[in-house]
Chains A and B, each alone.
Chain A
């Protein structure tokens, strides 16, 4: 109990300093907050893979960053942090539900009627796709890799790459267009 109070007091002081622009205090705060958030995510979503848990931790840190002005040092810090974490966990569940609403699970993939005519032999299509992706300009290639191959959300991709969400949207749109042209040219 006393340890929680001490932690709260310390984090509150760090946050107060971070609100004033103290980067060292901010790093210390985020480093101490991240395990607490991870623990909360694990407790609420024990079935998640470690990478998904880490995504939620990162989203919570990003959300904390964007609303750090709402923290009032006169109030305890941990309930403030946990409210953001709970919100991000719920947002994550909503995102997951939205993504899965557009997916259909099939046990057996339907066979094509004329394998010789339709299928490309020996994984050639995959090779061709990989080669075509490598030929894309760097910005478009990174956007395709992050959003389409690694299935990152726009926010996650933005956080990792340091590119704005709008720029990512444009890059992925242009990347797909270029990719289509490259594949058409090689067919």
Chain B
């Protein structure tokens, strides 16, 4: 071992402090989901307390769509937390893809089903003006919690990790949105929501190295 490396080992050992071990990615994903779901539940509660009915009728189509969205959120969060632990395969980043595919497929199927019922209105692409601020507000805490939790890990693949985190946040917010926000027709959800999610994930991926980076170490 070179003298410099030997010195470095000595210095690192001198400033060693006990650390709290990071819980497993599964537990961290569950913690994030529980925290974010509690926050989103407040929106639903406020909506119900205002005397408004449930914004969405609960039917099989809705349940399938919701389950697919929640599965996307959970798997994306789990994959993101795996990506910040050295030793997991990079292929774990592909984990949410089947659920995402199911979500897109269920939205597509709902679009087709909406067409005969709503006619031209099913093809409307303009969202309600109040929709975007509400969705953004609903996503704040899950996004902040996600970034804080990811930053405790190792920034091995910052772009993929942050993009997965953004996908988890967006999917979870989308799962809650129909419960406290007047339902949009499916084509709008398909174009706007998925479009925004793709854009957000891409932007988050681009900003990944700025959000997640190797912490500066000062060796005494």
Contacts and interface: CB of A to CB of B under 8 A. Distances in A.
Interface in B1-55: 1-2, 4-5, 8-14, 16-22, 24
Nearest to B6: A31
B21 A23 contact: no
Nearest to B15: A65
B93 to A, nearest CB: 14
A68 B86 contact: no
A62 B8 contact: yes
B120 interface: no
A93 interface: no
A70 B153 contact: yes
Contact of A20 (B13, B18, B22, B215): B18
B219 interface: yes
Interface in A65-85: 65-73, 75-76, 79-81, 83-84
B22 A34 contact: no
B153 A67 contact: yes
Contacts of A83: 86-88, 156
Interface SS majority for chain A: helix
B11 A162 contact: yes
B84 A61 contact: no
B61 interface: no
Contact of B18 (A21, A31, A91, A162): A21
With a 10 A CB-CB cut-off, give which of B17, B84, B218 has the most chain A CB atoms: B218
Contacts of A87: 86, 154, 156
B8 A67 contact: no
A174 to B, nearest CB: 19
B5 A19 contact: no
A162 B86 contact: no
A27 B217 contact: no
A39 interface: no
A79 to B, nearest CB: 4
A14 to B, nearest CB: 12
Contact of A58 (B5, B17, B21, B220): B5
Nearest to B11: A162
B5 A155 contact: no
A63 B86 CA distance: 11
Given A23-B14, A26-B16, A31 B9 contact: yes
Contact of B1 (A35, A62, A91): A35
B98 to A, nearest CB: 25
Given A72-B22, A83-B156, A23 B16 contact: yes
A19 B84 CA distance: 18
Given A54-B5, A84-B86, A63 B12 contact: no
Contacts of B17: 21
Interface of A: 18-24, 26-27, 30-31, 34-35, 54, 57-58, 61-63, 65-73, 75-76, 79-81, 83-84, 87, 91, 155, 158-160, 162-165
9 contacts: A23-B13, A23-B14, A26-B16, A58-B5, A61-B8, A63-B154, A66-B214, A66-B217, A71-B86
Interface of B: 1-2, 4-5, 8-14, 16-22, 24, 84-88, 152-154, 156, 214-220
